[in-house]
Amino acid sequence: MINTVDFITPPVDDPYWFGQISAANSISDVYSMGGKPLTALNVVMFPSKQLDMGILREILRGGHDKTVEAGACLVGGHTVDDEEPKYGLCVNGIVNPNRIITNAGSQPGDALILTKPIGSGVLFNAVRSGKLPYVELERDILPSIAALNGPAMEAALQFNLHACTDVTGFGILGHLLEVAHGSNAKVVLNHQNIPFYPHALAMYRKGESTGSNKANRAMVDRHHLEIQVVLDNAEEEMLYDPQTSGGLLLSLPNSEADELLQVLHDSGVSSAVKIGEVTSDAVGIVVV
């Protein structure tokens, strides 16, 4: 049995999208361990005296619809009156005890596959600050962010999957660092292969950022990070961008990577791409 609790503050103004994204973000913790979600409880903090209750209804509708899409049952929840709306799920799931996937099992010679683009953190902030029209976010980006990671993990479990983590608040480098330390290995990240959401790099170049970039950079930079490719400031910042409902980072033998990518693409996970590999060198990250 797996139990996870996760909730976020609104990344978007549309309450229905917010509910879907929050639920997908919460359920992803079960998927990333190779599990199947069974039940979920709403976890709600809402300023009922300041905001219309219809907003809460739409948030809960989004969470419900995404939970049902995942094949789980929404069985209740808890609500607290708070100054800022927050929403997420407490998710229970099951996993084969002989095949629990962690972020610590990568082996030298593994390929690393990422299933969603990165850049959601700066995009949400850019919409809030008026640098990016909301219509661009809704049309090009929110469907991917709200997508469940279930199909990707279902495909990956058909292969000799050694490790997995979902990419969330620590950014791509932060989560690669977890893999490197957990597996006592070095991770080589191919920068040109990293998929970015539309407009994300442009927003960094316009001066937008997030409240987590500085902390993520400090966490990674003191743990043997080596950047061997020339990057401008915006390209570097993308590597620390915190994700909401990010994709899975999958580690499996390089000999199986191309076949897995084909299965992922056939399953509708069109953004999946090989972004790096694992080596037996000293623990750390190299960006090439």
Specify whether the CB–CB gap between 148 and 24 falls below 8 A.
yes
Report the interhelical angle of 213-221 vs 171-183 (nearest 10°).
Answer: 30
pLDDT of residue 73: 96
pLDDT of residue 8: 65
Question: Is residue 68 located within the same domain as residue 118?
Answer: no
Is 72 part of a structural domain of the chain? yes
Sheet holding 110-114, edge to edge: 163-166, 248-253, 110-114, 273-279, 186-189, 284-287, 225-227
Is 100 part of a structural domain of the chain? no
Question: Is residue 268 located within the same domain as residue 149?
Answer: yes
Query: Which tens digits make up the pLDDT trace of 261-288?
Result: 999 999 999 999 999 999 999 899 999 9
> Which of 59, 94, 129 marks a domain boundary?
94
- What is the CATH number for 54? 3.30.1330.10
Question: Is residue 87 located within the same domain as residue 116?
Answer: no
Is 105 part of a structural domain of the chain? no
Query: Which tens digits make up the pLDDT trace of 140-188?
Result: 899 999 999 999 999 999 999 999 999 999 999 999 999 999 999 999 9
Please indicate, yes or no, whether the overall pTM of this predicted structure exceeds 0.85: yes
Query: Which residue ranges of the chain lie beneath pLDDT 70?
Result: 2-3, 5, 7-11
Total domains in the chain come to 2
Is 269 part of a structural domain of the chain? yes
Closest CA to 177 of 280, 272, 101, 284: 284
Question: Is residue 256 located within the same domain as residue 149?
Answer: yes
Is 249 part of a structural domain of the chain? yes
pLDDT of residue 222: 76
Determine if residue 199 is left, alpha or beta; phi over 0 gives left, psi from -120 to 50 gives alpha, anything else beta. Answer: left
Query: Over the range 244-271, which residues count as b (16 or more CB within 10 Å of their CB) and which as e?
Result: bbbbbbbbbeeebbeebbebbeeeebeb
Question: Is residue 114 located within the same domain as residue 85?
Answer: no
Measured CA to CA, the distance from residue 225 to residue 208 in angstroms comes to 24
Instruction: Quote the domain boundaries for residue 58.
Output: 2-94
Question: Is residue 63 located within the same domain as residue 116?
Answer: no
Question: Is residue 217 located within the same domain as residue 181?
Answer: yes
